[in-house]
C-alpha cells in the first residue's frame, strides 16, 4: 500500500460538508471514497486535514489515503480517473505519493481560512455563491481590527465553539487575523478576513466573523472581546456568519 | 417622463433568458419590470439591447425605460431600490438619465460576446456555472483561428441561425473574432473566444462556437466555413455549444 496526498478544491454549496455521513452521498469525503472504492474494488478511507461545515468551500483542502494501484496504472492515471468521475464542483488539483507517515490531519501545522463579506448596494452576481452578501452596510474596519487583535495568541475559544457538547480541549492558537477591503475581480467592494491558526473549532471562524461584523456595525464595542473569551459561553459571542462566505485556503505542513 | 439607461449584470443560470414571457416571472426583463411596476404603480417597459438565451450571462447588458420618478425621489434612490429588490443573481451596476431619443436596441452600434471553454482534466469548481467544461480535450487553436477568419465581414449567417422560421434578414457583420488560451483566476486553462459584431442572430454565437470546436478537435476541416455559409442551411453547421459558457460583455453605442 502506498500513501497518496491530494489537494482538493470544492464549491461546497451543494454538499453537507466534508465528512461522510451515514446513508448520505452528498459529502466531499463520501464522493471521493465512492470513486476510490470503484477504482480499487475495496473500501478506501480518505483522511482530510479537517472537516469543513455544510456549504463551506475549499481552495486548498488536503487529504491522504492508502492504496495499491491496480497493475499497470500510474498515479497520473488515478489522478485522471478521480477527476473524470468527480462532479464538476469537486476537483483534485494535485496527487502525489508521500511518506507512509504523512497523515493529513495529524501532520497539519496550521490552516488558513478566508471569509469574504460583500459590502456594496450592488450584488456581485458572479461571486454570489462564495461571498456573504452584506449589502449596503458600511463596516468600521479599524474597530474590527482592534477587536481581532484580542483573539491573536493562545486562548480558550469555548465561547466561539458551535458544538455545545464538545468534550475535548477548546484551546487554540490564532497566529494572525488580517482584515482588508478589496475590490473583487468585477470591481465591487468586499471585506476579506484571513484567519491563520493551528486549528479551529466547529463553526469557530463563522462565530468570530459574526462577532467582528457586530463590532464593525457598531452593535458591540471593540474592546469587549476579552470579556467574551473569559465567559466561556457561546451565548456571549456574536452570530454565526453564513457558511457560503468561508473558504479553506491552505493547510500548512511545515514543508 | 424621463429616459433612464441601466447597465445590468446577471448570472443567467436560473433564468429563461432576457425576454419576458407570458405567465413567467423567471426572465431578467420580467424581474426588472415587476420591480419598476411596484416602484411607480404602473407598467414600465424595459427595453434591452437584445435578448439573451436561457442560461446566458451578462456583464454588460444595457437597457432603457421611461419613467416619472415619484415626488422627492432621486435617480440614486431608484438605483438603490432596484438593487434592494432584485435577486442576488441580477444587479443594476449603473443607472443614469439619458437623452429622450436613446433606445437600447435601436441605438446599439455593436456588441461583444465572450464564450469560455474550459480545457483541462481538472474542473474549475469556482467557475463551473460560467464556462463550458470541455474536459480533457486539446483544441487546435491555429485551425480554429483560420476557420474564424472566414466569418469576419458581412455575410448571410442563415446557416448559423437557431430560429428556423426567421423571416427577417439573416445578414450580419462580424468585426472581429479573437481566440486566446488563458489561465483563469485559479490557474486553470481555458480557451476564450471574443466575438464583436453589429448584432447576432438567435443562437448564432453558440453555433459558431460549436462549429469552431469541431474544427479545433479535428472533426471538420478549417477551410470548410465558406461552404457552410453558402449552404444557407442550419444542418450544415456544427452543434450549438451550451448556453452557460456565453456572456454578453459590452454593448457599444459609439460614445
Residues of B (6-35) whose Cβ lies below 8 Å from A:
9-11
Domains of chain A, by residue range, sit at: 2-98, 110-252
Cα–Cα distances (Å) from A135 to A36, A118, A122, A124, B28, in that order, read: 42, 7, 7, 10, 21
Q: Is the ipTM of this complex over 0.90?
A: no
pLDDT value for B195 = 98
Q: CA-CA distances (angstroms) from residue A13 to A32, A89, A93, A183, B125? A: 17, 9, 19, 23, 11
Kindly give the parts of chain B with pLDDT less than 50: none
A131 pLDDT band, cuts 50/70/90, is: very high
The gap between the terminal CA atoms of chain B, to the nearest Å, is 24
CATH of domain B2-98: 3.30.70.580
B239: cell is: 452543434
Query: Does the pLDDT at position A172 exceed 90?
Result: yes
* pLDDT for the residue numbered B189: 85
CB contact under 8 A, B123 and A83: yes
B211, B220 contact by CB (below 8 A): yes
Site from B126, B135, B184, B242 to mutate, A interface, most A CB atoms within 10 angstroms: B126
Res A136 pLDDT > 80:
no
Whether residue A84 and residue B136 make contact (CB cut-off 8 A), yes or no, is: yes
Check whether A117 has a pLDDT greater than 70: yes
Question: Where would I find the H helices in chain A?
Answer: 28-40, 75-85, 141-149, 204-216, 225-231
- Confidence check: pLDDT of A184 > 90: no
Residues A185-204: tens digit of each pLDDT: 666 789 999 999 999 999 99
Q: In the prediction, which pLDDT does A185 show?
A: 64
Q: How near does any CA of chain B get to the CA of A215, in Å? A: 24
Contact (CB, 8 A) for B134 and B124 = no
Q: What is the pLDDT of residue A186?
A: 63
**Assigned CATH for A110-252:** 3.30.70.660
A123 → closest Cβ in B80, B83, B135: B83
Same fold, A2-98 and A110-252: yes
- Kindly state the cell numbers that stand for B196: 464583436
Closest residue of chain B to A10, computed from CA coordinates: B125
Amino acid at each position: 500500500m502506498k500513501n497518496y496526498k491530494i489537494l482538493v478544491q470544492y464549491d461546497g454549496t451543494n454538499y453537507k460538508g466534508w465528512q461522510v455521513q451515514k446513508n448520505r452521498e452528498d459529502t466531499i469525503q463520501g464522493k471521493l471514497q465512492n470513486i476510490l472504492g470503484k477504482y480499487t474494488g475495496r473500501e478506501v478511507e480518505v483522511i482530510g486535514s479537517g472537516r469543513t461545515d455544510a456549504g463551506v468551500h475549499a481552495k486548498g483542502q488536503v487529504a491522504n489515503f492508502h492504496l495499491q494501484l491496480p497493475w499497470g496504472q500510474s498515479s497520473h492515471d488515478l489522478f485522471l480517473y478521480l477527476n473524470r468521475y468527480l462532479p464538476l464542483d469537486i476537483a483534485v488539483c494535485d496527487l502525489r505519493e508521500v511518506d507512509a507517515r504523512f497523515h493529513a490531519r495529524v501532520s497539519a501545522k496550521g490552516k488558513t481560512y478566508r471569509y469574504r463579506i460583500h459590502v456594496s448596494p450592488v450584488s456581485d452576481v458572479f461571486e454570489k455563491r462564495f461571498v456573504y452578501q452584506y449589502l449596503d452596510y458600511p463596516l468600521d474596519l479599524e474597530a474590527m481590527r482592534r477587536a481581532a487583535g484580542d483573539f491573536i495568541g493562545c486562548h480558550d475559544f469555548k465561547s466561539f465553539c458551535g458544538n455545545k457538547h464538545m468534550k475535548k480541549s477548546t484551546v487554540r492558537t490564532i497566529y494572525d487575523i488580517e482584515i482588508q477591503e478589496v475590490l473583487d475581480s468585477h470591481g465591487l467592494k468586499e471585506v476579506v478576513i484571513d484567519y491563520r491558526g493551528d486549528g479551529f473549532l466547529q463553526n469557530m471562524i463563522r462565530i468570530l466573523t459574526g462577532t467582528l461584523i457586530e463590532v464593525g456595525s457598531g452593535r458591540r464595542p471593540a474592546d469587549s472581546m476579552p470579556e467574551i473569551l473569559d465567559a466561556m459561553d457561546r451565548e456571549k459571542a456574536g452570530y454565526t456568519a453564513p457558511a457560503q462566505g468561508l473558504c479553506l485556503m491552505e493547510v500548512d505542513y511545515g514543508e
